[in-house]
Structure 1
Amino acid sequence: MSLHPRSRYGRYRGGPDPLAPPVDLTEALDAVAEDVMAGYSPRRALQEYLRRGGLDQEGLDELAGRIQQRRQDLLGKHNLNGTLNEVKKLLDTAVLEERKQLARDAMMNNTDRAFREMQIQNLPQSTAAAVNELASYDWQSSTAREAYEKIKDLLGREVLDQRFAGMKQALEGATDQDRAAISAMLADLNELLDKHRRQVDTAADFAEFMAKHGEHFPENPRNVEELVDALAKRAAAAQRLMQSMTPEQRAELMQLSAQAFGSQDLMAQLGQLDETLQALRPGEDWNGSERFEGQEGMGLGDGTGVLQDLAELDQLADQLGQDFDSSHMDDVDLDALARQLGEDAAVSARTLAAIEKAMHDGGYLTKGADGDFRLSPQAMRRLGRSLLRDAAKQLSGRQGRRETREAGAAGDQTGSSRPWEFGDNAPWDVTRTITNAIRRTIADGGDPGRGVRLAVDDIEVTETEERTQAAVVLLVDVSFSMAAEGRWVPMKRTALALHHLVSTRFRGDKLQLITFGRYAQTMDIGGLTSLPAFREQGTNLHHGLLLASRFFRKHPAMQPVLLVVTDGEPTAHLLPDGESMFSWPPHPSTIRATVDELDRVGRAGAQATFFRLGDDPGLERFIQRMARRVDGRVVAPEAGELGAAVVGEYLRAHFRGRAYGDSDWAF
């Protein structure tokens, strides 16, 4: 006998896997940020990502498409003739067996036989009418009588199955005692619901009812409200089923229902139940219908189940649509999704819900004073790091660079080292530090082979030259042509990459972001990232240079660096009264004002680089002349290479006089 009990392992089914790794937000955050930079609000951008999904992640639109396909499959597979066809087969069997018996029965009076044969021969074409006409027929064949009784039994089980799922199978072969028990259950149910309708029921009434009849309610309702919900959904589906039939089918079944269990009382009880449920739940869809076009016939109970499935599919489609501002992934019924599409669909929706929750709870989206969501500083840093790595890969031409936290933060290494002093943040010289520790251990009589402990006096750091701090201005064109020509998002990606580089690798530098359209303005990185495109004419480089000069004057001890991104010639300048004058083609006064302000920037010693986007000859000539006036550079990158070009020129300004290499900046 084993001392240890056997354990069985299987898939965890208690909800989300508690041991599952945290959801990876990298792809979602990148997609959301890209849409934000294109002009979406952060909330709308997150909704769009949830709709699209990721490379290996189903989105809401794909799940909604599967819902619609499932709906079409149900309608295209089935028809509503199932019960009528079953009844017709039993009727045909009963009639055939009765004819055989009449032909075999030699003892029967010829007149009586002829009368019976005439009755059988002249049955109505309508199945329901024939069944009703034979209700009082005295069957001579026991086989025929049994087949006819099966019709009444089938109809009874079908009409009950319409209201109580699984009743058709549960009552197969039922005895009179079983049918009496069902009748008693219906009477008790109607009494309970009538009391609830009049608001005079108690919790004890419900408990007593479930104790007596709970086996008929697999939904296991916890109170009368849940009981009503389950019954009303089923009853409404049964109503829609009848309304989905042709008038002929509906009339046939209404007539046949009178033969259910051979009891008029059953239909009266069900009628009372439907009336009460409709009064208690008027919001259910009691009047809808569907169009079935398939070949597979369904009985009343199965058809009602399919109508319930269709209603559930419609609810899921609404939930997956997320069409309201207050919509959340928590609105999606994962159990219903698993029932209709399988567990894989529920896993996909659960992952999307986890992404949505993590974006909020993880601090990537924050609610501003206006109540709208924005990308948080944490999200901006993460995105900036990603964009900076992209720029680094383009500049280096190599993949997989190792990140170095302090790279670029200090000056150029001289090749020498010195003892560490309190407050030093220079990189350690690891080789000399370990060597010092080994020598000290030996001098103290220790054995380096048995381990070495570092002491503060062992530590040496690399010596670096002082690096000039820079006051950097990134001037970006935000005229509408930037958005119209597909340069809007690359411009924002460039600003984010440069902002992250300066704020993490060159913390001693100062960066100012300035946009210029009809007017120029200084902006923080969050404002620039979420800036929408305006249909406003004007490229006021003059105003932008004015703001740049003001920034440089605030930091006189720093090296001024000017980076200008534009796709058009100046078409506006600032007048003495503060208004902007616009003119196309560019007015001579606009050109003159722009050049004069550039000269002031040049006299301040600024290192200027102009990034020309597009192939306009006029812009090319203008930019070349501007660059020559201040001994600057012109770079003409493709839009997708703009970030690498700007980062590269910024680094060139820091390492002017020699080439910068991988050791100078690792991302």
Structure 2
Amino acid sequence: MADPRRKAGRYAYGPYAGGPDPLAPPFDIRAAMDEIGRDVMEGSSPRQALRELLRRGAADRRGLDDLTRQVWQRRRDLQRDNRLDGTLEQVRELLQRAMDAEREALRNEDSDDARFREMQLDALPNDTGGAVRELGEYDWRSSDAREAYAEIRDLLGREMLDQRFEGMKQAMQNATPRDVERVREMLDDLNNLLAQHAKGQDTQQQFSEFMARHGEFFPENPANTEELVDLLAARSAAAQRMLNSMSAQQRAELAQLAQEAFGDPRLAQALSQLDAQLQGLRPGEDWQGSGRFRGNNPMGMGEATRAMEELGQLDALAEQLAQSYPGARLEDIDLEAVGDLLGEEARVDARTLAELERELQRQGLFERAADGTLALSPKALRRLGESALRDVVDRIGARRGERETRRSGAAGEATGATRPWAFGDTEAWSVPRTLLNAQLRRAAGDRRKLDVSDVEVVETEQRTRAAVALLVDTSWSMVAEGRWVPMKRTALALHQLISTRFRGDDLALITFGRHAQTVELGELVGLEGAYAQGTNLHHALLLAERHLRRHPDAMPVVLVVTDGEPTAHLEPDGEAYFDYPPSPHTLRATVHEVDRLAAMKVAFTFFVLGEDPRLAAFMDEVARRCGGRVVAPTLDGLGAEVVADYLRTRR
């Protein structure tokens, strides 16, 4: 970035030092593809591998699993720390305060009426709801008691409204009878609007009139009746789930107390009618659910309803993050809900994962196979090959002091000489000689900057072509012993090397288990391990011979990667014969095919995995017969050994 200190009209530039590079992409596509490729080579489908990457996360961004855990932690915290009977507890405290004040006033009064009132108080029902209802017509002697009882009615009304309308608890603080009447009128108009809407009538005009008259009760400012119903139904369903979560006794107490809200039973009736209409209009809402709250923090009815609503939102978000429904995409995740429920950092993580999924799709790293499944594209396979080859070259370089080169070598090896360019030449330009020629021409008076006569190309010598057959063992032991992925990465590295640097060579990938087959790179990468007995090297050698005979002018090379003796061979009728321990017939058929290839001057190398002495002895004997080599690499060094042997053979 530019140095803010300008000197002599010039700027100084240097690396950005203010933290992470703000222009860097939020994710590493190459690293993501490496992870996907590893999972595919271990047997996952490309779709499963992509989903697994998104579940784990990328770089320093949390994945879907971490976000889901945060959802469930938030859910547990809500239920662990809170309980739903806050309103009942407040009512009990206010009722006790009213009773204590009234009894104190009666105790100081010496009259038959005072004694009669004391008997009335003693005869009140034991449950809070019944006691509050019985006291509805009681003529309080104590002003403190009368005030506490009025506060109960006020509290119940505000809590019931707060369950269904945002901010009503604060708005109805110290409500006057006129305020209560306005709320009741709003509920009557609302119920009438919903009734007309339920009949299928066009209610837009009625809705506009309703909002003009009662819009102050709806700060969310819905645009039409449908949006209003959605808004109210979500809260009403949450209120019902809150009731479902309470004990039968608590529900009964609240039902009785509801009649005393603001001292007007019509409010409870209007709310009950509203709930019934909303349930009919939105039967798909969760009206039957419940939750177990076991904490010590008492919540009021409105607060508890919002907690139930939040639980519902968390459940919906968990379903989105699970991505378990058909056609699921990360774009389905409500990022606004993620931010509201889990915080801004979680929203950024979810957005980054969605962008990663889109970028992988945009770059063409996946394609649809003929059967409709998701497959790695040739571009993705090239990237995996680049990664595998880079690892192999690093290992070879560390062992031999060599370094990676990026020459394609398609036209042959450079001799060090140059010659003037002629029409049809495809060799690389010699830039130093070309520029020198241009300068000499201009020094002689020709003012043209560059002319075709200046161009010289690098001379190359003809390089021998090779026909290469890589035979890889796909028997179950390769999977069981952890050799499956190293084998695939070896094939990737060799394929990448030949397709980029030695393009004139022709590579055949041949797998052999009970049977052998020639496969494309994508098939090998996605090949799943299957339990099948048999190591049919004989069949693989037959396919290798077919490949080599197609290229009679090329140097024949056969590379064999295996961890077991031949235990199967191909019969004349095409059936595979299997026996263990290896049948002499199988061994003779395999050795016979080796001899046939040796007569074609094939360069053999056998890469023996594991420490089976019988396999080692057999391969040593075969190598002596055909003049080949036996290499016993480690799993980590398999790719380096195969690539290095291929390069050695070509030299």
What TM-score, normalized by structure 1, do the two folds share?
A: 0.89
| Shift of residue 335, structure 1, vs aligned partner | 1.9
In structure 2, the CA distance between the partners of 1:618 and 1:398, relative to structure 1 (3 Å rule), is closer
User: What is aligned with 1:8?
Assistant: none
| Residues 27 and 58 in structure 2, CA contact (< 8 A), matched pair in contact too | no
In structure 2, the CA distance between the partners of 1:330 and 1:605, relative to structure 1 (3 Å rule), is same
Query: Is 1:559 aligned to 2:563, yes or no?
Result: no
| Residues 106 and 115 in structure 2, CA contact (< 8 A), matched pair in contact too | no
User: What is aligned with 2:501?
Assistant: 505
User: What is aligned with 1:248?
Assistant: 249
C-alpha separation between the residues in 2 aligned to 1:120 and 1:625? 108
1:149-186 superposed Cα distances (whole Å, 9 cap, x missing partner):
11111101111112223211221122222221111111
1:247-276 superposed Cα distances (whole Å, 9 cap, x missing partner):
222222222111101011111111111111
Query: Is 1:203 aligned to 2:204, yes or no?
Result: yes
Query: Is 1:215 aligned to 2:216, yes or no?
Result: yes
> Please, which of 587, 590, 594 is the counterpart of residue 598 of structure 1?
594
C-alpha separation between the residues in 2 aligned to 1:333 and 1:322? 13
| Shift of residue 438, structure 1, vs aligned partner | 3.3
| Shift of residue 465, structure 1, vs aligned partner | 2.2
C-alpha separation between the residues in 1 aligned to 2:194 and 2:359? 44
| Residues 406 and 427 in structure 1, CA contact (< 8 A), matched pair in contact too | no
Which has the larger displacement, 33-42 or 295-304?
33-42
C-alpha separation between the residues in 2 aligned to 1:403 and 1:542? 36
User: What is aligned with 2:620?
Assistant: 624
User: What is aligned with 2:458?
Assistant: 462
C-alpha separation between the residues in 2 aligned to 1:150 and 1:402? 84
Task: Specify the code of the residue in structure 2 equivalent to 1:540.
Answer: N
| Residues 408 and 502 in structure 2, CA contact (< 8 A), matched pair in contact too | no
C-alpha separation between the residues in 2 aligned to 1:362 and 1:392? 26
> Please, which of 41, 44, 47 is the counterpart of residue 37 of structure 1?
41
3-state SS, counterpart of residue 415 of structure 1: strand
| Residues 434 and 454 in structure 2, CA contact (< 8 A), matched pair in contact too | yes
C-alpha separation between the residues in 2 aligned to 1:173 and 1:75? 31
Task: Specify the code of the residue in structure 1 equivalent to 2:208.
Answer: A
In structure 2, the CA distance between the partners of 1:248 and 1:282, relative to structure 1 (3 Å rule), is same
User: What is aligned with 2:300?
Assistant: 299
C-alpha separation between the residues in 1 aligned to 2:366 and 2:78? 41
In structure 2, the CA distance between the partners of 1:218 and 1:638, relative to structure 1 (3 Å rule), is farther
User: What is aligned with 2:17?
Assistant: none
| Shift of residue 459, structure 1, vs aligned partner | 3.3
| Shift of residue 431, structure 1, vs aligned partner | 3.4
| Residues 393 and 399 in structure 1, CA contact (< 8 A), matched pair in contact too | no
User: What is aligned with 2:98?
Assistant: 94
| Shift of residue 125, structure 1, vs aligned partner | 4.1
3-state SS, counterpart of residue 636 of structure 2: helix
> Please, which of 603, 607, 610 is the counterpart of residue 603 of structure 2?
607
Task: Specify the code of the residue in structure 1 equivalent to 2:307.
Answer: V
The within-5 A match list for 1:183-582 is 183-397=184-398, 405-444=406-445, 453-582=449-578
| Shift of residue 117, structure 1, vs aligned partner | 4.7
1:181-218 superposed Cα distances (whole Å, 9 cap, x missing partner):
11111111111111122212332222222232233223
| Residues 258 and 264 in structure 1, CA contact (< 8 A), matched pair in contact too | yes
Task: Specify the code of the residue in structure 2 equivalent to 1:354.
Answer: E
Structure 2 spans left out of the alignment, 5+ residues? 1-21
Task: Specify the code of the residue in structure 1 equivalent to 2:444.
Answer: A
3-state SS, counterpart of residue 639 of structure 1: coil
Task: Specify the code of the residue in structure 2 equivalent to 1:378.
Answer: K
C-alpha separation between the residues in 2 aligned to 1:367 and 1:242? 50
| Residues 413 and 462 in structure 1, CA contact (< 8 A), matched pair in contact too | yes
| Shift of residue 421, structure 1, vs aligned partner | 3.2
Which has the larger displacement, 599-608 or 301-310?
599-608
Query: Is 1:583 aligned to 2:579, yes or no?
Result: yes
3-state SS, counterpart of residue 609 of structure 1: strand
C-alpha separation between the residues in 1 aligned to 2:138 and 2:280? 40
Once the two structures are aligned, what percentage of the paired residues are identical?
Answer: 56
C-alpha separation between the residues in 2 aligned to 1:528 and 1:218? 60
C-alpha separation between the residues in 1 aligned to 2:534 and 2:570? 11
| Shift of residue 401, structure 1, vs aligned partner | 9.7
User: What is aligned with 1:83?
Assistant: 87
> Please, which of 77, 81, 85 is the counterpart of residue 73 of structure 1?
77
| Residues 538 and 572 in structure 1, CA contact (< 8 A), matched pair in contact too | yes
3-state SS, counterpart of residue 188 of structure 2: helix
> Please, which of 630, 638, 643 is the counterpart of residue 642 of structure 1?
638
Which has the larger displacement, 464-473 or 108-117?
108-117
| Shift of residue 25, structure 1, vs aligned partner | 2.1
Figure out how many residues of one structure are paired with residues of the other and give that number: 630
1:382-422 superposed Cα distances (whole Å, 9 cap, x missing partner):
11111111111111129999975434334333332223334
3-state SS, counterpart of residue 219 of structure 2: coil
| Shift of residue 100, structure 1, vs aligned partner | 5.3
C-alpha separation between the residues in 1 aligned to 2:488 and 2:60? 27
C-alpha separation between the residues in 2 aligned to 1:509 and 1:19? 41
User: What is aligned with 1:13?
Assistant: none
3-state SS, counterpart of residue 473 of structure 1: strand
C-alpha separation between the residues in 2 aligned to 1:250 and 1:400? 80
Which has the larger displacement, 156-165 or 560-569?
156-165
C-alpha separation between the residues in 2 aligned to 1:398 and 1:430? 34
| Shift of residue 432, structure 1, vs aligned partner | 3.2
| Residues 28 and 59 in structure 2, CA contact (< 8 A), matched pair in contact too | no
Which has the larger displacement, 640-649 or 506-515?
640-649
3-state SS, counterpart of residue 158 of structure 2: helix
C-alpha separation between the residues in 2 aligned to 1:532 and 1:445? 67
Task: Specify the code of the residue in structure 2 equivalent to 1:28.
Answer: A
User: What is aligned with 1:25?
Assistant: 29
C-alpha separation between the residues in 2 aligned to 1:558 and 1:211? 88
| Residues 516 and 544 in structure 1, CA contact (< 8 A), matched pair in contact too | yes
C-alpha separation between the residues in 2 aligned to 1:110 and 1:547? 116
1:541-593 superposed Cα distances (whole Å, 9 cap, x missing partner):
11111111111111111111111111111111111222211111111121111
Structure 1 spans left out of the alignment, 5+ residues? 1-17, 447-451, 656-667
3-state SS, counterpart of residue 640 of structure 1: coil
Task: Specify the code of the residue in structure 2 equivalent to 1:472.
Answer: V
| Residues 192 and 201 in structure 1, CA contact (< 8 A), matched pair in contact too | no
Task: Specify the code of the residue in structure 2 equivalent to 1:203.
Answer: Q
Task: Specify the code of the residue in structure 2 equivalent to 1:643.
Answer: G
3-state SS, counterpart of residue 323 of structure 1: coil
3-state SS, counterpart of residue 637 of structure 2: helix
C-alpha separation between the residues in 2 aligned to 1:46 and 1:249? 49
| Shift of residue 374, structure 1, vs aligned partner | 0.6
| Residues 232 and 278 in structure 2, CA contact (< 8 A), matched pair in contact too | yes
| Residues 520 and 543 in structure 1, CA contact (< 8 A), matched pair in contact too | yes
In structure 2, the CA distance between the partners of 1:335 and 1:179, relative to structure 1 (3 Å rule), is same
3-state SS, counterpart of residue 573 of structure 1: strand
1:87-133 superposed Cα distances (whole Å, 9 cap, x missing partner):
223223333444555567xxx76334444455456655433233223
1:500-520 superposed Cα distances (whole Å, 9 cap, x missing partner):
111111111111111111111
In structure 2, the CA distance between the partners of 1:92 and 1:230, relative to structure 1 (3 Å rule), is same
What TM-score, normalized by structure 2, do the two folds share?
A: 0.91
Task: Specify the code of the residue in structure 2 equivalent to 1:192.
Answer: L
Task: Specify the code of the residue in structure 1 equivalent to 2:30.
Answer: T
User: What is aligned with 1:173?
Assistant: 174
| Shift of residue 440, structure 1, vs aligned partner | 3.1
Which has the larger displacement, 611-620 or 491-500?
491-500
| Residues 97 and 144 in structure 1, CA contact (< 8 A), matched pair in contact too | yes
In structure 2, the CA distance between the partners of 1:340 and 1:99, relative to structure 1 (3 Å rule), is same
